[in-house]
Amino acid sequence: MRRETQHAVLFLLGGALVRIAADETFLRYVRPAQRWWLIGAGVVMIGLAVVATVRDVRGRTVPGADGHDHRTGPSPWLLVLPVLVVALVAPPALGADAVARQPTTAPADLAAPALPPGPAELGIGEAVARSIDGTLGDGRDLTVTGFLAHRDGDVVVARLTISCCAADARPHTVRLRGPGLQGAAALPVDTWVRVRGTVVAQAAKDNRWSPDLEVAELTVVAPPDDPYEL
């Protein structure tokens, strides 16, 4: 690949990183804390591309006689791929497909303080963890927010937990039950909903870490900026 093409690819790649970090797009792929890392990396790439271009134009570098950089091989071409995928498609955050594909996994140990009695609104990862360690308790009025997914014939409200990037996502789910289930089953998967109901935490033990929720109220909501939980 010619040097000037390498510079162009590097410039675009840096631009793509800055671009997705400039709004909320990057939250589909990584944790919010990585925003400044992405901007920094983008600036480094743009800087290296600009410096190299300026030096080449001034004739300061000594490239091969035909302008090729033989040592890099064909691999620089592949850098075009993430640029194109981000610029053209900007794939959405992981959703129902990823949930259906993976078995749900155990939640992290919370070691969190006991919940005060009464209605609670929790993240799904926390709701699952508290179902397992007993701090949620059966029969509590619980509200959770997540996207709808189907798994093994059940309708679940799911949230994916990531610690670094979407490649390490682990699904946590709450299974919907009761007469209110019809409304949820009629909605397409990946619809974001806020569900209030009565929790059957005991079910989590028999159902691979997925407590049951007897649906009392279900509202469709807008997707949050950060679709993942930590």
In the complex, the smallest distance separating the C-beta of residue 18 from another protein, rounded to whole angstroms, is 12
**Phi and psi of 144, rounded to 5°?**
-130, 155
d(CA 48, CA 42): 10
In the complex, the smallest distance separating the C-beta of residue 222 from another protein, rounded to whole angstroms, is 20
Among 15, 76, 137, 180, binds another protein (CB under 8 A): 76
**Phi and psi of 208, rounded to 5°?**
45, 60
**Which among 40, 36, 35, 10 has a CA at the least distance from the CA of 25?**
35
Among 130, 140, 151, 170, binds another protein (CB under 8 A): 170
Q: Which two tokens stand for residue 63?
A: 């490239």
- In this chain, which stretch among 12-20, 133-141, 180-188, 212-220 interacts with another protein, using CB under 8 A? 12-20
- In this chain, which stretch among 78-86, 133-141, 174-182, 218-226 interacts with another protein, using CB under 8 A? 78-86
**Which among 154, 141, 134, 144 has a CA at the least distance from the CA of 202?**
134
* 158 in contact with another protein (CB under 8 A): no
Q: What is the enclosing helix (H) or strand (E) of 55?
A: helix 35-57
* CB nearer to another protein: pick between 22 and 84: 84
* CB nearer to another protein: pick between 114 and 165: 165
* 32 in contact with another protein (CB under 8 A): no
Q: Which amino acid is at 78?
A: L
DSSP state of 98: H
With beta carbons less than 8 A apart as the criterion, state whether 153 and 59 touch.
no
d(CA 176, CA 173): 9
- In this chain, which stretch among 31-39, 114-122, 179-187, 215-223 interacts with another protein, using CB under 8 A? 31-39
Residue window 105-144: x/- pattern of binding to another protein, with contact defined by CB under 8 A? xxxxx-x---------------------------------
* 80 in contact with another protein (CB under 8 A): yes
* 45 in contact with another protein (CB under 8 A): yes
* 8 in contact with another protein (CB under 8 A): yes
What is the Cα gyration radius of the chain?
A: 24
Among 22, 32, 103, 119, binds another protein (CB under 8 A): 103
